[in-house]
Amino acid sequence: MSIQELLDLSRLGINKNVTCNLGEVEGLENLHFSQLVAEAIRREEGKLSRKGTLLINTRVDDQYGEKRHTGRTPAARYIIDDAPGVDFSNSKLNQPMTRKKADLIYKEMLKYINEQKEIFVANRMLGADLENAFPLQFITSHASRALFAINQFRDLPPAEMILPGQIKEAAMTAIVLPDLKLDPKKYGLQQDGVVILDFNMRKILVAGMKYCGEPKKGVFTFLNYVYPSMGIFPMHCGANIGDNRESALFFGLSGTGKTTLSSDPNRTMLGDDEIAWGSHGLFAMEGGCYAKLIKLDKNAEPDIYNAMKKFGSLAENVVMEKGKFNYDDAIITENSRGSYPLKNLPNPSESGIARDPKTIFFLSADATGTLPPISRLNQKQAMYHFLMGYTSKLAGTEVGITEPALSFSACYGLPFMPRSLFEYAQLLEKKLNQSGAQVYLVNTGWTGGKYGVGSRIIIRDSRAMIAAALSGDLEHARHQSHEQFGFDMITECNGLSSQDILKPWKTWDNVAAYRQAANMLAKSFQDKFETTYKKNPEAMKLAKWGPNPI
């Protein structure tokens, strides 16, 4: 089947005679990003900065949003209940929806689309490895969302190309209608917006949700569902490649520094958020970045800062004063975002493909101030910490989060993992055996005390530790076992502002207070692991590799 046939709008029930203002039919398909920017301005979807970046505001204050929507809304996301292999045991994350109800909502969305004077269609691709890629048709009522899709996802191969693998079988469809508000009573919803994941029909439906992260993470969840059945390990991580062609992975949740630390001017960027690990190595799922912009500093993060100045980049919920962005102002949200294609960076990977990684980093923004800045994990410890996915959830990344809160997000992406969590851990184990990669746990959070008392570990120090690990300098560096956490913490590393930060109790005013806080965190690990995995005997075998309070 050709790409054109895979992406024929009529297969979805969309009127092929939709007329558009540029004289096209079937929607404004794959417009150049400059045309999408112009359309967004014409339709008053956003404003231009002095540098030509399109700024949109997706904050919504209403009765459903716990004051305001400026991040994902987990309560609005559903998975159709006929998909085999989905773990519905945690109904708060993987909320089931009947196909009958989903079909009614889909019917209302199609009616809305066919009543529009114009729609925008971005035909894109998921996955850089053509053997394991999927065409994506992104259909939306907003030019700015089509621009987002152009930035975030990959270019399709030439139409005349003979397609290998999965890409020739079926397209994936995302329909994104930010202004379509649904009747919660009619459909039995918690609010007037919804995200529906239909794995069997390969559709993502987004209605009444303005935040750009909703369709992005919907696409990611789809890939996290389908790739394990293909023997591929989908990961919520960034990746880059050194001059020696050795790659590295950076796992972490929002606010841990995943985008910042994987954006290294001395290394080639493979991707900042969503990477897959197949039988022949790594490949990028996306083609762009969706970076947090709050307190973005041009000296500390020059690549991201400069990428956001390029025409075609998209800023979301950033304060703009006289045409200039004020990244320090959080009056709209702490979760301001920027979308830009990888080509906006100075060193993107053209192929999107890399060898097996030799170094893997688990990033945690620890707000208790007790985790060491960098520690070495053995394979069992790596599986344990992967299943825990500890960080402190930072303000603005989800509705209702206003200050850091202790958070365990399995696989460093719990909301996006629809299958059994241990299934992903087994994929990690398989890949570690395959590659022999070394795993490090890196704290990018607080030192010298908890949040509000201590201070955030400076990016320069985090970069120095990452560089030392990548160069091999930490393989034989001095280390000692942490008395509560059990792993080997690195105790010497060149290039740091102070060697004392490597032993976190040395940065606290009161060592006894540090030990008490470390014990509390260790107990939280134990309790969470027991609660989450007590029904899985194989997972519980890993409990002994986790922290133990003393």
pLDDT reading at 397 higher than 60? no
Band of pLDDT at residue 300, cut at 50, 70 and 90: confident
Mean pLDDT for 284-291 is 95
H or E segment to which residue 256 belongs:
none
Least confident of 156-165, 185-194, 523-532: 156-165
* Active-site residue, 267 included: no
* Active-site residue, 337 included: yes
Q: Cα separation of 246 and 249, whole Å?
A: 10
pLDDT reading at 167 higher than 60? no
The single residue of 53, 141, 247, 254 carrying the catalytic annotation is 254
Within 8 A by CB and 6+ apart from 89, the residues are none
Mean pLDDT for 497-514 is 97
pLDDT reading at 532 higher than 50? yes
What pLDDT is recorded for position 368? 95
What pLDDT is recorded for position 26? 41
Q: What value, to the nearest 5°, has the Cα angle with vertex 344 and ends 340 and 346?
A: 145
Task: Evaluate if pTM is beyond 0.95.
Answer: no
* Active-site residue, 407 included: no
pLDDT reading at 258 higher than 80? yes
SS3 225: helix
Q: Cα separation of 244 and 267, whole Å?
A: 10
The single residue of 337, 385, 419, 482 carrying the catalytic annotation is 337
Q: Which domains does the chain have, with CATH numbers?
A: 3-230 (3.40.449.10), 233-294+333-550 (3.90.228.20)
pLDDT reading at 401 higher than 80? no
Percent with pLDDT over 90 in the chain: 77
Within 8 A by CB and 6+ apart from 471, the residues are none
Least confident of 43-47, 104-108, 263-267, 342-346: 263-267
Mean pLDDT for 320-346 is 94
* Active-site residue, 236 included: yes
What pLDDT is recorded for position 163? 63
Q: Cα separation of 44 and 126, whole Å?
A: 30
Band of pLDDT at residue 20, cut at 50, 70 and 90: very low
Mean pLDDT for 520-534 is 96
Band of pLDDT at residue 44, cut at 50, 70 and 90: very high
The single residue of 69, 72, 216, 292 carrying the catalytic annotation is 72
Mean pLDDT for 328-336 is 92
Helix ranges, 13-142 (H): 33-42, 99-114
> 203 - beta bridge partners?
173, 198
478 and 491 in contact (C-beta within 8 Å)?
Answer: yes
Band of pLDDT at residue 60, cut at 50, 70 and 90: confident
What pLDDT is recorded for position 521? 97
Band of pLDDT at residue 270, cut at 50, 70 and 90: very high
pLDDT reading at 2 higher than 90? no
Mean pLDDT for 45-62 is 92
pLDDT reading at 263 higher than 90? no
pLDDT reading at 511 higher than 90? yes
Mean pLDDT for 100-104 is 97
Mean pLDDT for 431-438 is 97
* Active-site residue, 273 included: yes
What pLDDT is recorded for position 156? 85
The single residue of 273, 303, 356, 366 carrying the catalytic annotation is 273
SS3 358: strand
Mean pLDDT for 179-202 is 95
* Active-site residue, 61 included: no
What pLDDT is recorded for position 467? 97
The DSSP secondary structure of 412-456, one letter per residue, reads G-GGG--S-HHHHHHHHHHHHHHH--EEEEEE-SEESSSTTTSEE
The single residue of 77, 142, 217, 482 carrying the catalytic annotation is 217
* Active-site residue, 280 included: no
Least confident of 32-36, 126-130, 481-485, 507-511: 32-36
513 and 526 in contact (C-beta within 8 Å)?
Answer: no
* Active-site residue, 254 included: yes
**Residue 423, Cβ neighbours under 10 Å: how many?**
14
pLDDT reading at 215 higher than 90? yes
Band of pLDDT at residue 100, cut at 50, 70 and 90: very high
Mean pLDDT for 391-404 is 65
Mean pLDDT for 65-84 is 81
The single residue of 101, 145, 202, 258 carrying the catalytic annotation is 258
Helix ranges, 161-296 (H): 184-187, 213-226, 258-262
- Two structure tokens written together for 150: 């152009």
Residue 209: closest CA among 75, 24, 299, 25 = 75
